[in-house]
Structure 1
């Protein structure tokens, strides 16, 4: 099985970009990715983050569907504590039917304090139990069987013959396209000791690992696969997605030159580096590099060499294969989107080359193994 390509639009556009610019940029990315052969396109959901400003991924998905043919879409992820589960269950099911199989679902409890404050929560610890209750009610709604339930946080139900008014109502069939078993649900993870991977494995949800070095990648796979087995499921490496930053050009020198002037470099310079330092997310990457450096001292040369898959197609293939030999195989490399509105051509070329010149040639181990 060849390594698949996906794309993740967080979106990582600077706060100076307008919502219309971000929206139009997403449609451009989807079209390019679809033409290039990408399999999945995932779109973040955040409410207060200037660098990650898409509070309504469904709108982006619906718009992108009109200009694409094959690529699948997912909100990645709906932050369940901030939604009414009954309403969201119907919207998810309805949109999956509109997409006719080109839809899957991402779920999360919400990981940003400012989003929590917007919704009236004082701390993030309040959110995980709400996510579990929301999922429970959404699953019941997707069954389409009559019920009424009032939980600790939410209430929901599904109408039936005994709850009709004085006339018959034909109930809309807004469950997932092809039935609940056909709806893939995915979960992302970033930190080393991610509870999200245990949660995903226990429910047979697919894992998406954001890169933080080989120790973290190994931990994500091991946690997910053990939870899968404990729940009676078979973990398959082809379901394991790995999200990376990528910049490809004709030569290593040209790729580095273009990277340093790109929106990708700007994101790390102005936004991501501080977050990675604060939460210790560089530690595994530094360990892999063998460099005697501190997270605070990392420069853009380090980013180009050890954080971004930066180089010619041949160099990027080598970097991917070296990493895969250390941690085991995975099924999809997810290209993180970054702002390139001011100079889109180098980024578009890099995006296409990953799908057409790199992923088909990567030797990925353990793809037939659990």
Structure 2
């Protein structure tokens, strides 16, 4: 099986973009990716971040479904502590039925302090146990057995014969398409010691690794695989997704030239570099590079050579194969979306070439 490719739309669009611009850009990306043969399109859920502003990914997913044929979609991820679990369970099931299987689910507790403040929390610390309770209640709703439960933070139920009014009511089947067992659930990880990967493995959820160097990538796989085995599941590298920034052109020089004037470069310069420095996310990449540089001094050349998969199709294939030899294989490379509204053609060409000229040719044993 050839390595699949996916798109992750965080999104990285400058705060100057309007919601309509971001929405329409998502539809364009979905159409292009579907035509090129991408497997998955994942869309973030963020409420307060100017650079990552999509608070309602399911609206984007529903619109994209109308102009695509094969690509699957997922909110990546619904931030469960901020949702009523019973309502969300029904909406997830209903949308997956609308999509007729072209839907999977991402879940997370929420990792941004400002989103937590918006929802009345002092920070993100209290969120993980709320996610667990929300998930448990959602699973009970999907069982479609009568119950009523008030948890510590949420409440939910499902109607049965003893709770019907004095007339017949037909209860809608809003379970996930094909039943709960056919709903893939995925979890993302960024930090080296990711509790998310342990959580995902313990529940047989799929792992998605945001790349921060080979030590981090190995840690993500090892943590997930150990948790899978400890809970009676079999880890499979075909389920492992790896997120990377990618920029492909005819030659290495042309790819670098286009990258340096792209929206991807602007994102790194104005937004992501500061975050990666603050949280030590460059450390593994610097270790891999062998370059004597501090995170604060990372420049455009370092980004092009070591952070982004930047180059000709042949160069990107080589970089991916080297990574696979060091870390083990994976099933899907996921290209992070960046704003290219001002000059979309180079980005469109790059994502098409990833699917048609790179992924089918990468040598990987999984």
1:303 is the counterpart of 2:303: yes
Match of 1:104 in 2: 104
Give the secondary structure class of the aligned counterpart of 1:309. Answer: strand
- Tell me, which stretches of 5 or more residues in structure 1 are unaligned? none
Q: Is residue 361 of structure 1 aligned with residue 350 of structure 2?
A: no
Partner Cα separation in structure 2 for residue 100 and residue 229 of structure 1 = 31
Could you tell me how far 1:168 is from its partner in structure 2? 1.3
**Considering only aligned residues, what root-mean-square deviation do their CA atoms show, in Å?**
0.3
Q: Deviations over 1:252-297 (max 9, x none)?
A: 0000000000000000000000000000000000000001110000
1:123 positional shift: 1.6
Separation in structure 2 between the aligned mates of residue 255 and residue 203 of structure 1, nearest angstrom: 41
1 CA distance for matches of 2:124 and 2:10? Answer: 20
SS of equivalent to 1:302: helix
Q: Which residue of 1 aligns with 2:41?
A: 41
Matched, 1:121 2:87: no
Gaps of 5+ in 2: none
Give the TM-score normalised by structure 2: 1.00
Alignment match, 1:270: 270
Residue in 2 aligned with 1:320? 320
Question: C-alpha separation between the residues in 1 aligned to 2:300 and 2:129?
Answer: 40
**Aligned equivalents of 1:68 and 1:319: distance in 2?**
31
The aligned counterpart of 1:88 is 88
Question: Where has structure 1 moved over 3 Å in runs of 4 or more?
Answer: none
Matches within 5 A, 1:138-157: 138-157=138-157
Structure 1 stretch 195-204 or stretch 166-175: which is displaced more?
Answer: 166-175
Q: Which residue is equivalent to 1:220? A: 220
Cα distance in structure 2, aligned partners of 1:58 and 1:4: 23
Equivalence for 1:241: 241
Residue aligning to 2:193: 193
| Alignment deviations for residues 184-217 of structure 1 (CA, whole Å, 9 cap, x no partner) | 0000000000000000000000000000000000
Task: Using structure 1 for the length normalisation, give the TM-score.
Answer: 0.99
Give distance in 2, aligned partners of 1:2 and 1:191: 28
CA distance in 1 between partners of 2:252 and 2:292 (Å): 24
CA distance in 1, matches of 2:248, 2:146: 53
Q: Secondary structure at the match of 1:125?
A: coil
Distance 2:127 2:189 in 1: 16
Answer yes or no: is 1:340 the counterpart of 2:357. no
Q: Give 1:166 shift.
A: 1.1
Q: Tell me the equivalent position of 1:256.
A: 256
Q: CA deviation at 1:232?
A: 0.1
Distance 2:59 2:224 in 1: 31
